[in-house]
Structure 1
Amino acid sequence: MADLQDEPHFVGIGAEHLPAPPLPAVPTAVPGALDRAAALLSVHPVADGCNTLVRTLRRSPHHDIGTPDAGVDTDIPRLRAGGVGAQFWSLLAPPDGRDVLGGPDGAADTDRIVSDTLEQIDVALTLVRGYPDSLLLGLTADDMADARNRGRIASFLGPVPGRTLTDSLGALRAFHALGVRLLAPAGAAWAQDGLTAFGHEVVREANRLAVLLDLTDCPPETACQVAGSSKAPVIISNTGAAALNPHPGNVTDEVLLALRAANGLAMVTFDPARTGDSLHAVADHVDHVRAVAGPHAVGLGAAFGSEPGRPRPAGLTDPAGYPKLIAELLERGWPETDLALLTWGNAQRVVRDAEFTSRAAQHRRPSP
């Protein structure tokens, strides 16, 4: 199997000018879309931008994800069946205004938010350590390639909430030391109505540390400003196209164009409130993001990891459904080069480019 550590990377080049990376040979398959999808995923697995299993496990630590478990929609057998090769484990509080332990989010002070985040990091690290034959902690793009080549799932920690950062960057440096590689500005005082002076400092420090900025749920103006200010690519780890569904969490075409200019990445969710209740509807959103942002700026961030009862699109009820989505895109005429970018190449590229930006920034601005 080819080693993706040697794949080319591009920094500061418009996405429309990027050459397609060379593809390893896809195993020969019978001429059916689902078989072709499975063959492609065996070489270019899914790098999923969002899974909320960590907060589910914090509430229900008895779950064993090594075996199929009807009590949660994510486990290792289903991740493997879906061809998932890298996973970003979200460390955010639930979006319903309540923290992980059930208290009102609005009543939590900064210390409580930080302590909750630290506890989620601990759960995530325990999860990765508990399944060494299946999961490998992801800190770099090389870790992604290493995990894939060893049959593991690269596990990246984050995002953590930007609200944990107030007047000091110390928390961000501490999170990085613990293995966190994504930060979400949404809801932070320094990124509500555009970036404050401190917000610009956060962006610079995140660039220096190779911590990706996840703009999910940021207002369009803030998202465009951060995308333009960051020297490293930014991502939106789970979203849909606002042009198809004006959900407040979906990304506008303006932001998609800003991501395209910044070599960023928008990862399409499987949340039916955002992208519809069918596999076909989700594919429509993937198509739209690719059309507007370009094939180098589209990825997948399903937001699995919840307990039973959360609605899911038909055919995409858990990670094992990924081959069906890839088969649908094949039937729509997607070339395998674009599918390889969608599933794996784009995610690895933004992680690697963040590392190159970090090395350049550390040369100019040594560690404090």
Structure 2
Amino acid sequence: MTALSKTLRLAAATVFAFSLASSPAIAQTAEQSAEAALRAAPVWDGHNDVPIQIRARARNVLADFDFADTTGTADPENDRGAMHTDLARLRTGKVGAQFWSVWVSTDLPEAEAVTAVLEQIDITKRLVARYPQLELATSSDDVAKAMRAGKVASLIGMEGGHSIANSLAVLRQMHDLGARYMTLTHSKNTAWADSATDEPVHGGLTDFGRDVVREMQRIGMLVDLSHVSEESMLDALDVARAPVIFSHSGARAVASHPRNVPDSVLARLPANGGIVMAVTLPAYVSDEVRDWSARKDAEEARLKALNTGNAAAAKAALEAWEAANPVPRATLAQLADHIDHIVEVAGIGHVGLGADFDGMSSTTEGIDDVAGYPALFAELARRGYSQADLRKISSGNMMRVMRMAERHAASEKGTAPVEYPVGHLDDD
């Protein structure tokens, strides 16, 4: 082919491509763009609390629990709304992979917490086994296989380091049972790590806490830094040799809750390779919601003091205050603002989704349950995110993170386990 022929063919191809891109019949709406992205890369969500809902509502008995449709599960008598998750809505929401959280209360003594988490791992596995639409996954290859089959890859994430009772042996056994991440703390400090929502006592991670991070990465368990203090985040990043995750957190610059990730940490994510999975819990999304909650708490304390010995009067007065001061709602736009900020500081390769559905009593407007992800992706498309960007946010980034963590663990095969004597923290 002559040089002239090549030039003419290139010009013709350019004109054709331009005509397609500019044709009204071909142009995609934001909703169509979201649909295309989620069809190519279904959502991989970092945190869902269905297992604790089964524990609270059904005492871990599946016989009378129908996961096909949970829209009718409201329980006003026990102050529980309907669940946010079921098989039908997972399909509508284009969810292809889910970390199911095996959380138990930090109020439990640590030995009891270990038992309770084992029960939660068991109920998660039994739930997955009961429904062919779900498939247990313990590796990135498992996730990819389940997604190709149109199933929801189901992974297990432990929420709270209290669940290992200060024992690396317990940690290793939890990994053997299928747990693929552990959040270092929940709402309270552990003996080796400070929480974001407790008074700091360690100044971040202790030496043992740093070894927890090392051992997690040695065996291929993702280090989850949601819920930990800023100092603990930074200490973990100092030690980490594989990507960390924030399974359900926002950007603190957008909403100032201490559970969110500060810019000092976001700026370090590119070097680490980690990911912040944007949360939808309203107080983490919106400062207006958080401010309202603080004002309500203050008013409740004031009314109780004014009505000592008359709980009914205090309750009635608080209800009147709430009627006159309705709670604001976090919005889909505010949630997208968190994603924008994470991308601005850390980059498009370091953001994902971790909604925290079934772990909250209220939701962000526009994404009220697991069926709402397409609406969020349409909002992102309207903001100019490309198809490639949307696919990274939905699951591409999380797949990269897990594969990198697995490669690191493979490189550590010859490294001996970190050892501590039984009861080592009791000696302090």
**TM-score with structure 2 setting the length:** 0.73
1:202 positional shift: 1.2
CA RMSD of aligned residues (A): 1.8
Which residue, out of 260, 263, 277, partners 1:267?
277
Identity %: 39
Which residue, out of 386, 395, 405, partners 1:344?
395
Tell me how far apart the structure 2 counterparts of residues 75 and 245 of structure 1 sit (CA, whole Å): 29
Contact 2:156 2:179 in 1 (8 A): yes
The one-letter amino acid paired with 2:357 is F
Tell me how far apart the structure 1 counterparts of residues 158 and 224 of structure 2 sit (CA, whole Å): 7
Tell whether 2:354 aligns with 1:301: yes
Q: Deviations over 1:280-335 (max 9, x none)?
A: 1111111111111111110000111258xx21111100111111110111110011
Which residue, out of 332, 337, 343, partners 1:284?
337
Q: Deviations over 1:74-128 (max 9, x none)?
A: 00110110110000111123xxxxx3xxxxx44x321111111111111111111
1:65 positional shift: 1.2
Tell whether 2:231 aligns with 1:221: yes
Which residue, out of 16, 33, 38, partners 1:36?
33
Structure-2 change in CA distance of 1:86 and 1:42 (3 Å): same
Q: Secondary structure at the match of 2:192?
A: helix
Aligned residues between the structures: 327
Tell me how far apart the structure 2 counterparts of residues 343 and 112 of structure 1 sit (CA, whole Å): 36
Structure 1 counterpart of 2:94: 83
Contact 1:68 1:77 in 2 (8 A): no
Q: Secondary structure at the match of 1:67?
A: coil
1:350 positional shift: 1.0
Structure-2 change in CA distance of 1:66 and 1:29 (3 Å): farther
Tell whether 2:45 aligns with 1:54: no
Tell me how far apart the structure 2 counterparts of residues 155 and 197 of structure 1 sit (CA, whole Å): 33
Higher deviation after alignment, 215-224 or 159-168: 159-168
Structure 1 counterpart of 2:169: 170
The one-letter amino acid paired with 2:86 is D
Q: Deviations over 1:223-271 (max 9, x none)?
A: 0110221111100011111111111211101111122221100011111
Which residue, out of 73, 86, 94, partners 2:84?
73
Q: Secondary structure at the match of 2:267?
A: helix
1:164 positional shift: 2.7
Tell me how far apart the structure 2 counterparts of residues 129 and 35 of structure 1 sit (CA, whole Å): 34
Please give the residue correspondences for 1:91-130 in structure 2 after superposition, counting only pairs within 5 Å.
91-93=102-104, 99=105, 105-106=106-107, 108-130=108-130
Tell me how far apart the structure 1 counterparts of residues 343 and 414 of structure 2 sit (CA, whole Å): 35
Q: Deviations over 1:112-158 (max 9, x none)?
A: 11111111111111111111x21111100001100000111111101
Tell me how far apart the structure 2 counterparts of residues 63 and 303 of structure 1 sit (CA, whole Å): 21
Which residue, out of 360, 364, 367, partners 2:411?
360
1:69 positional shift: 2.7
**TM-score with structure 1 setting the length:** 0.85
Stretches of structure 1 lacking an aligned partner (at least 5 in a row): 1-27, 94-98, 100-104
Larger Rg: 2
The one-letter amino acid paired with 1:191 is A
Please give the residue correspondences for 1:186-205 in structure 2 after superposition, counting only pairs within 5 Å.
186=185, 187-192=189-194, 193-205=203-215
Contact 2:34 2:390 in 1 (8 A): no
Tell me how far apart the structure 1 counterparts of residues 264 and 418 of structure 2 sit (CA, whole Å): 35
1:364 positional shift: 3.3
Higher deviation after alignment, 59-68 or 231-240: 59-68
Structure-2 change in CA distance of 1:29 and 1:312 (3 Å): farther
Contact 1:304 1:318 in 2 (8 A): yes
Tell whether 2:341 aligns with 1:311: no
Tell me how far apart the structure 1 counterparts of residues 396 and 358 of structure 2 sit (CA, whole Å): 23
Structure 2 counterpart of 1:25: none
Contact 2:280 2:364 in 1 (8 A): yes
Please give the residue correspondences for 1:216-255 in structure 2 after superposition, counting only pairs within 5 Å.
216-255=226-265
Tell me how far apart the structure 1 counterparts of residues 381 and 166 of structure 2 sit (CA, whole Å): 49
Q: Deviations over 1:32-85 (max 9, x none)?
A: 111221121011110001101110011223331123533211001101101100
Structure 1 counterpart of 2:143: 144
Structure-2 change in CA distance of 1:329 and 1:167 (3 Å): closer
Tell whether 2:378 aligns with 1:327: yes
Tell me how far apart the structure 2 counterparts of residues 229 and 252 of structure 1 sit (CA, whole Å): 19
Structure 2 counterpart of 1:156: 155
Structure-2 change in CA distance of 1:362 and 1:126 (3 Å): same
Structure 2 counterpart of 1:256: 266
Higher deviation after alignment, 208-217 or 164-173: 164-173
1:195 positional shift: 2.2
Contact 1:29 1:36 in 2 (8 A): no
1:29 positional shift: 7.7
Structure 1 counterpart of 2:306: none
Contact 1:29 1:35 in 2 (8 A): no
Structure 2 counterpart of 1:10: none
Tell me how far apart the structure 2 counterparts of residues 242 and 167 of structure 1 sit (CA, whole Å): 30
Contact 2:111 2:165 in 1 (8 A): no
